[in-house]
Amino acid sequence: MLRCTSCGRMYSFDSPYQRCECGEPLELELFNGMYKKKGKRVWERFSEFFPLELDPELSLGEGDTPLTRAKKLSKELGIELYLKNETINPTWSFKDRGTYLGIHRAIQLDFRRIGTVSTGNMAASVAAYGAHSELEVYILVSSTIPEEKIKALAPYGAKIVKVHGDYGELYYRALEIGQKKGIYFINSDDPFRVEGYKSISFEISEEITPDYVIVPTSSGGLFRGIVKGFLEAKNSGLIEKLPRFFVVQAEGCSPICKAFNAGKEKIERFENPHTIAHAIENPYPPSGNAVLRLLKKLNGICTTVTDEEILEAQKILGREGIFVQLASATGIAAVKKLRRKGIIKEGAIVVSILTGSGLKTLRYIKQPKVEECSLQRLEECIG
Amino acid sequence: MLRCTSCGRMYSFDSPYQRCECGEPLELELFNGMYKKKGKRVWERFSEFFPLELDPELSLGEGDTPLTRAKKLSKELGIELYLKNETINPTWSFKDRGTYLGIHRAIQLDFRRIGTVSTGNMAASVAAYGAHSELEVYILVSSTIPEEKIKALAPYGAKIVKVHGDYGELYYRALEIGQKKGIYFINSDDPFRVEGYKSISFEISEEITPDYVIVPTSSGGLFRGIVKGFLEAKNSGLIEKLPRFFVVQAEGCSPICKAFNAGKEKIERFENPHTIAHAIENPYPPSGNAVLRLLKKLNGICTTVTDEEILEAQKILGREGIFVQLASATGIAAVKKLRRKGIIKEGAIVVSILTGSGLKTLRYIKQPKVEECSLQRLEECIG
């Protein structure tokens, strides 16, 4: 059964419902399975925690990403900081975990056509998994999408439609048209996509029991999946306590933090959004209210960071050996801020989710200093 | 001990030798260890096959990449084609496996400074691992390097020197200066880097026993590592027979194929190299002769593919759900050619190594067809 995250109304598992009539997102109930230590893939070890039998043939090798300790930052901040590196995925972002589940759902419901509404990571992910599974793929992008992002979709051979009009509305319109035309839109907070993201929490829980988990948040799908994953990990005894959850948003587009910090129960459309972290620039996130509810219930925190802080954090992560896209750097900017404010305590075990590869947003990188040298003078140049 | 791949001369393990006095590359002797089925990481399961005790703290999570069956291509070509997807690595290429071993070697020999000579994948890899391990990093690049490639290095904070002069000569000059100045240059065919690449063969051998393995080849380091890995996997009983090895090069820069197919024992500098697959555009590969010897000894094949075939193969891989850089696509172009010629037999189990991510060479991707549509007309546009 699928249950509404707000009003609790139930929907049959066999119908392609993604949102409740009340407008809020649906979710699967909590799973309480048995964790199997054996198994190379997270999908095997946690097979009892997923709503469908997972088929390795549909996989491109998503998940089981490294949890890397940030040596310099841990020392500097007096905490144990771990980076969950989602840049090491088949299309170089966390989206692949959700798409893997979403593809299963589409096939289970007998869809031969899938789609998504996205301007970046999710578009590439759905296009790749659709191609791999021999499904027809429809990628709906906004009219302002930069050329590079379209290029990164080219090899997968999806049908790409550039839609002129309100991008927020497009999300809902796509679901409607999908129902009508037989296209399963695996959008950002599809209930099965959210189930896929749980695997991040499972993998973290296998290695450590974090005190804090920081999640860059746009639509809210990733945050919901991560929280659900930790709830299930705790219920099944894999970890003894829940971490405290932090949502981070870019200051220039922070509808969830704005509502949460004002004590509101509903988000409002964020006017004139502008941030360099485009991957999380969603002014009206479809799971925004669901995230608000989780933050309230679990004593979470919502924090914003500026573009300058994001750029600095990207550099800091590079110095740890990981090159992330700007949206991913928001987590580290937030950790620094929350540690400074004393909200993150000394010695705490902190995990920041690195959502996608820096190669995706090369255009925001400044040329580094390069020394010119002749082969003859090389010894001097090296110094 | 380190042994010369050509004259057999031995060198002490405790000295930083990388090449023999005769000019040819050195290598570690064959390991004959015990394969441990348990262990999440290839480095644990095959710990007895590596020349150093490997430290997880120096790792960024390289290796254990997916081996994905190419569904459409397998059907089309009447073979079982598997793709070893090295794009899913910390800096999105196979280089990370070698760098991981190289970093160990540098630290074992008490170096605090490391470097490399590269224009792309290896530069990013060494810069990342150096940053992670808190070593000083020197990246020597050619004067013709495009701006984008430099940008992708920026976050790691290495010292970048653009060297004007013969790029082939730079390789040898760097090793000399390194010895003098205390910089361990983890160049393309460093003996320890080559040891790291063995892990690719180990992982493949855990899953299947291939009939053919295809390796895009530039300096020769990757090919040497893969062959050594399969030799060790066979010696230790993990696989029953060796695969047949295929080297693939771009037609516009194919010094190894040229020499091999003319029955020569030494490569010659390839004049006027030009190919879109820049990652494998090395006109005078430092392990070229070593590769020739292996091809001869093991009844290998060297084949070339054109730029057109490479571009087509990149698209074909996209349709399997994997977006590779152009150099990686050469393998698939070769498989098609060798199958057509009957050299690869029907029903054969074939593995092609996908060396690096397509995001690294976005500039060669053509804009795909994009349909423009208004939100109002969306239903019609989707069709």
Residues 64-103 of B with CB under 8 A from A: 64-66, 68-69, 71-72, 85, 87-92
Q: Is the pLDDT of residue B145 over 90?
A: no
Task: Spell out which residues of chain A touch residue B91, defining contact as CB-CB under 8 Å.
Answer: 323
Helix (H, G, I), strand (E, B) or coil at B167: helix
**In terms of DSSP H, where are the helices of A55-120?**
71-77, 95-108
Give the pLDDT confidence score for residue A361 in this predicted structure: 85
Give the pairing type, strands B80-85 and B67-69: antiparallel
B371: in domain: no
Hey, how many other C-beta atoms are within 10 angstroms of the C-beta on B269? 12
Cβ(B168)–Cβ(B270) below 8 Å: no
Determine, for residues A371 and B314 on separate chains, whether the beta-carbon distance falls below 8 Å: no
What's the mean pLDDT in B13-41? Answer: 94
Residues A348 and A296 in one domain: yes
Residues B152 and B118 in one domain: yes
Residues B282 and B346 in one domain: yes
Rounded CA separation B324/B356 (Å): 6
ipTM: 0.96
A358: left (phi over 0), alpha (psi -120 to 50) or beta: alpha
pLDDT 10s digits, B45-79: 999 999 999 999 999 999 999 999 999 999 999 99
Query: What's chain B's average pLDDT?
Result: 96
Determine, for residues A61 and B65 on separate chains, whether the beta-carbon distance falls below 8 Å: yes
Show which of B163, B185, B207 is a domain's final residue: B185
Residues A239 and A305 in one domain: yes
Give the pLDDT confidence score for residue B361 in this predicted structure: 85
Determine, for residues A381 and B161 on separate chains, whether the beta-carbon distance falls below 8 Å: yes
Residues B126 and B199 in one domain: no
B306: in domain: yes
Percent of chain B scored above 90 by pLDDT?
A: 92
Determine, for residues B371 and A162 on separate chains, whether the beta-carbon distance falls below 8 Å: yes
Rounded CA separation A211/A349 (Å): 5
Place of tokens 């490569």: B267
pLDDT 10s digits, B243-290: 999 999 999 999 999 999 999 999 999 999 999 999 899 999 999 999
User: Residue A50 half-sphere exposure, CB side, CA atoms within 13 Å?
Assistant: 27
Beta bridge mates, B19: B25
Residues A176 and A198 in one domain: no
The Cα-based distances of B275 to A134, B222, B305, B307, B311 in angstroms read 32, 19, 10, 6, 11
Residues A75 and A165 in one domain: no
Residues A164 and A117 in one domain: yes
Determine, for residues A66 and B72 on separate chains, whether the beta-carbon distance falls below 8 Å: no
What's the mean pLDDT in B321-343? Answer: 97
Residues 168-187 of A with CB under 8 A from B: 169-170, 173-174, 177, 180-181, 183
Q: Place A119 in a pLDDT band, splitting at 50, 70 and 90.
A: confident
Task: Spell out which residues of chain B touch residue A170, defining contact as CB-CB under 8 Å.
Answer: 375, 378
Give the pLDDT confidence score for residue B238 in this predicted structure: 96
Give the pLDDT confidence score for residue A228 in this predicted structure: 98
Give the pLDDT confidence score for residue B146 in this predicted structure: 82
Cβ(B221)–Cβ(B191) below 8 Å: no
B333: in domain: yes
Rounded CA separation A358/B381 (Å): 33
Q: Place B336 in a pLDDT band, splitting at 50, 70 and 90.
A: very high
Report the number of distinct structural domains present in chain A. Answer: 2
- Residue in B133, B181, B323 closest to A155 by CB: B323
Determine, for residues A368 and B150 on separate chains, whether the beta-carbon distance falls below 8 Å: yes
Rounded CA separation A304/A254 (Å): 7
Determine, for residues A138 and B382 on separate chains, whether the beta-carbon distance falls below 8 Å: yes
Helix (H) or strand (E) holding B224: helix B221-235
Q: Place A383 in a pLDDT band, splitting at 50, 70 and 90.
A: confident
- Residue in B87, B88, B155 closest to A315 by CB: B155
Show which of B167, B185, B203 is a domain's final residue: B185
B58: in domain: no
A224: in domain: yes
Structure tokens at A370: 């390069």
Question: Which of A41-55, A157-171, A217-231 has the lowest average pLDDT?
Answer: A157-171
Q: Is the pLDDT of residue B119 over 80?
A: no
Residues A305 and A342 in one domain: yes
Give the pLDDT confidence score for residue B273 in this predicted structure: 93
B122: in domain: yes
Residues A208 and A318 in one domain: yes
Determine, for residues A134 and B318 on separate chains, whether the beta-carbon distance falls below 8 Å: no
One-letter identity of residue A338? L
- Measured between CA atoms, how close is B370 to chain A, in angstroms? 5
pLDDT 10s digits, A30-86: 999 999 988 999 999 999 999 999 999 999 999 999 999 999 999 999 999 999 999
What's the mean pLDDT in A96-105? Answer: 98
Residues A134 and A82 in one domain: no
B257: in domain: yes
Query: What's chain A's average pLDDT?
Result: 96
Residues A257 and A319 in one domain: yes
pLDDT 10s digits, A295-311: 999 999 999 999 999 99
Task: Spell out which residues of chain A touch residue B163, defining contact as CB-CB under 8 Å.
Answer: 373-375, 378
A13: in domain: no
> CATH no. for residue A161?
3.40.50.1100
Q: Does A146 touch chain B (CB under 8 A)?
A: no
Cβ(A9)–Cβ(A23) below 8 Å: no
Determine, for residues A91 and B153 on separate chains, whether the beta-carbon distance falls below 8 Å: no
Give the pLDDT confidence score for residue A149 in this predicted structure: 87
Beta bridge mates, B161: A371, B140
Instruction: For residue B159, give its domain range.
Output: 93-185
Say which residues have a Cβ less than 8 Å from residue A192's Cβ, sequence separation at least 6.
A28, A51, A52, A98, A101, A102, A104, A105, A186
Give the pLDDT confidence score for residue A92 in this predicted structure: 98
pLDDT 10s digits, A165-213: 988 899 999 999 999 999 999 999 999 999 999 999 999 999 999 999 9
